[in-house]
Amino acid sequence: MTPEQAQQLRFILPFLVIIPILALRMRRMSRPQRLRLGLLWVRPALVLLGCAAALFAPDPQTHRIPVILPLQWAGLAVAAAIGAFAGWHYGKVTAIDVHPENGTLVAKGNMLGMLIILALVALKLGLKPLLQAQGVGLHLDVLLITDALIVFSAMLLTVRALEMYLRAKKVMAAS
């Protein structure tokens, strides 16, 4: 295998893995699923713990916790705000109803949510070769960009769950 073929394979292989996973996820999102209000906090809590672990994990080479500078905190705050905005709208487009037969809450995903996930995957896959090739020349902090994407995703999932919880409480009260 030539180096060019290996490079092409490294670019195409993630798509070959991700596309079937996303197709299965889209199929599952199109069907109503039971919404357990009491357990809605579990996934965001785990994601936030993972986010904190990724941000404050010691550097494998120096075994020191990284120091985040004020400008980097500002970048992470912007990523968190954008993630919260996207998460609120992602949760808002998720249909929440009361099942007519048994009175439980059901949620049905929306294609907008899937488009947000697809955009995140495309952004990550598109940024990787760009940052590898031009990151140093453009004076980009690759670690900060990665951390910002982690914070964005964590806030997206957390605020989505919060919006869904608030709306589900209203739906239950109305029924």
Do 107 and 33 meet the contact criterion of CB atoms below 8 Å apart? Answer: yes
Q: Please, which pLDDT band fits residue 160 given cuts at 50, 70 and 90?
A: very high
Q: What's residue 17's pLDDT?
A: 77
| Statement: residue 45 has pLDDT above 90 | yes
Q: Identify which has the larger pLDDT, 7 or 108.
A: 108
Q: Identify which has the larger pLDDT, 15 or 53.
A: 53
- Per-residue pLDDT tens digits for 69-90: 888 899 999 999 999 998 998 8
Task: Name the residue ranges covered by the structural domains of the chain.
Answer: 3-174
